[in-house]
Amino acid sequence: MLDQRPPTRYNQFLKIATWFEGTLILVAYGIGWAVSINPLAHLNLTPIGFFWGIAGTLPLYLLFALSYNLPWSSMRAVRNFLVEKLGPFLSRYRWHELLYLGFLAGISEEILFRGLLQSWFEQNWGWIGGIVFSNLVFALVHWVTPLYALLAGLTGVYLGIAFDFGGERNLVVPILIHAIYDFLAFIAVAQTYRREKSRSF
């Protein structure tokens, strides 16, 4: 049976993730200060924002669940990368640590990509330009394989549209979608790793 208690090197992963994602917030505020944009200007803790954030996770996660075990070689390459690189770490964490990682990524990345970059690009290229250009950057920083980058970019487009769900711009919506989606995806990757590891014994 696999040891579920994270030893020191697995704790390091949490620390590195925290520092890296925290740096994204500092970058967002640094650029935001230079271009006179407050990345949290549209953060509204409203019931409708929480509703759309939770409801908006469902279609995105359903697409992940449907595509996760597709037999296509390109999809298998993405899945294998996630299981091989993240699985050894994620499989040792408890649910609340996976939830922490999900919200860590959701909060920091949405502050940068939706709160800052989408709003910034919109100033010169309009709403569509803001979505397109911010998610080109989003795809590039998630480049693992060309397909993974494409999927990340399309996910970013969905999050960019979700920014305006309900007729009122609210950063809470993409933050929740991103965070909950990542949490559920982390669970799936961890379970796959444990299952495949147990078969090797």
Whole-number pLDDT of residue 145:
84
> For residues 199 and 156, which has the higher predicted lDDT (pLDDT)?
156
In a domain, 3, yes or no: no
Whole-number pLDDT of residue 199:
73
Asked if the model's pLDDT at residue 131 lies above 60, the reply is: yes
In a domain, 18, yes or no: yes
Cβ–Cβ contacts within 10 Å for residue 104, how many? Answer: 19
In a domain, 49, yes or no: yes
- pTM as predicted: 0.92
In a domain, 2, yes or no: no
Mean pLDDT for the stretch of residues 151-180: 95
Mean pLDDT for the stretch of residues 19-23: 94
The whole domain housing 142 covers 8-199
In a domain, 135, yes or no: yes
d(CA 41, CA 24): 17
In a domain, 1, yes or no: no
> For residues 3 and 150, which has the higher predicted lDDT (pLDDT)?
150
d(CA 114, CA 66): 26
d(CA 38, CA 15): 27
Q: What is the tens place of the pLDDT at every residue in 94-120?
A: 999 999 999 999 999 999 999 999 999
Residue 196: which of 89, 88, 110, 116 has the closest Cα?
88
In a domain, 56, yes or no: yes
Residue 116: which of 189, 196, 25, 186 has the closest Cα?
25
d(CA 116, CA 41): 9
For residue 168, report the phi and psi dihedrals to the nearest 5 degrees: -135, 125
Asked if the model's pLDDT at residue 29 lies above 60, the reply is: yes
Cα distances from 193 to residues 58, 81, 171, 176, 201, in angstroms, run 23, 11, 33, 26, 13
> For residues 5 and 65, which has the higher predicted lDDT (pLDDT)?
65
Domain count, the chain: 1
Q: What is the DSSP letter of 106?
A: H
Six token digits for residue 105? 């990524």
Whole-number pLDDT of residue 2:
46
d(CA 181, CA 163): 15
In a domain, 34, yes or no: yes
